[in-house]
Amino acid sequence: MGFLSEFKAFVMRGNVVDLAVGVIIGAAFGGITKSLVDDVMMPPIGLAIGAVDFKEQYVPLVIKDSAKEKYASLKSELFDAENAKRAAENTKRAAEEPPLPPLPLLASKDDVHPTLDQMSAKGVPTLRYGLFINTIINFVFVAFGVFLVVKLMTVLQRKPAPPPATPPAPTKQEELLGEIRDLLKSKPAR
């Protein structure tokens, strides 16, 4: 048997095809569970811990002076931009009839919370614990889903117990031996 024919026999074996189908379905199942975790489960969990988007949870790692400078610069830019936006909105509110109360300006740069994308764009290192927790929850859902699929498959593959087999009819010899036994039992003992 040649190398190519051995390879063909290997690839066409049922186990390899089953594995390929399992991998393809597993990838699709992974996408479904990722969407379930990211789009359905994490928003309520994020609201419960007081954040709008759980994926945005991080800790800035500003130990070195260069990272501190980048972080301070980003917060300063965001602080100035937010206050300019609020000042422009207050100007519009004052011109309305009746005038609306003004929006309060931010008191300090600590009131500004950069997004993870803004931190990455500035090159500020971050500890992204929200993404890590998201991945763990995703894993738990995938593992639970696989458990349910395997459990379902074992239930579906479970064969019912075979009905008890009827004993075969006695042979002629067994019938004759039974008659002899019955006759011996019926005779009185001497």
Q: Name the packing angle between helices 14-35 and 129-157 (round to 10°).
A: 130
Residue of 61, 104, 58, 56 lying closest to 83 (CA atoms)? 104
Longest dimension (CA), the chain: 133
pTM over 0.75: no
The separation between CA 96 and the C-alpha centre of its own chain, rounded to angstroms, equals 50
- Domains of the chain, first to last: 12-57+128-158 (1.10.1200), 65-126 (no CATH)
pLDDT at position 52 is 57
Within 13 Å and on the Cβ side, how many CA atoms surround 189? 0
pLDDT at residue number 56: 80
* DSSP-assigned beta bridge partners for residue 127: 59
CA separation for the pair 180, 87 (Å, rounded): 117
Alpha-carbon dihedral sign for residues 39, 40, 44, 49: negative
What is the SS3 assignment for 161? coil
Task: Average pLDDT across each block of 10 residues of the chain; the chain has 190 residues. List them in order.
Answer: 80 75 83 79 76 76 85 90 90 85 85 88 89 82 79 83 85 91 82
What is the pLDDT, as a whole number, of residue 171?
A: 92
